[in-house]
Structure 1
Amino acid sequence: MDELIFFDTLRAGLWNAVLISTPILTAALISGVLVGLFQALTSIQEMTLTFVPKLAAIIAVFWVSMSYMTATLTGYFADTLIPIIEGM
């Protein structure tokens, strides 16, 4: 395998990982900031208060964006990895 093909495949794989993880990480960030702001305004320092809403937001966004993640990953495999494997 040529180095150019290897690095291009690696770059595309990392970019797909970024695209797939962006919705979940964004939901975790937004819910974490909102819960942190709520805790700072009300002076409630409960540890489970930060965990449960963040987990619920992550699960909800994962459920909504599952088809997008699957389509992105299967597109990467069909367009990039399978032609490389067949060519060898």
Structure 2
Amino acid sequence: MTADQVFDLLRQALWIAVRVSAPLLAVALIAGLAIGLLQALTSVQEMTLTFVPKVGAMLIVFWVSMSFMTATLVGFFTDRIIPQIAGG
């Protein structure tokens, strides 16, 4: 493998990581903003109020998007990594 191939593979792997993690990060951001706004409006400063709904929303999104994540990672592995290991 040349250096260019390694850098291209690394670039693709980082892009796959961004695509796989984007739904969870987006939900965490939206839930955090919504809960922060709710806390600012009601002056309730409870730590579990920020943690539990955010984790619950992330678990739901993870469960819903698990097939997308798995398909993306398996596709990257079978299309890019295995041919490089096999020497193609």
Q: What's the RMSD between the two structures over aligned residues?
A: 0.8
* Unpaired stretches in structure 1, ≥5 consecutive residues: none
SS in 1 for 2:16: helix
Instruction: List 4+ stretches of structure 1 deviating above 4 A.
Output: none
TM-score computed with the length of structure 2 as normaliser = 0.98
What's the counterpart of residue 41 of structure 1?
Answer: 41
What's the counterpart of residue 12 of structure 2?
Answer: 12
Number of aligned residues: 88
1:7 Cα offset (Å): 0.2
What's the counterpart of residue 27 of structure 1?
Answer: 27
1: CA distance, partners of 2:24 / 2:84: 30
2: CA distance, partners of 1:52 / 1:29: 14
2: CA distance, partners of 1:26 / 1:60: 13
TM-score computed with the length of structure 1 as normaliser = 0.98
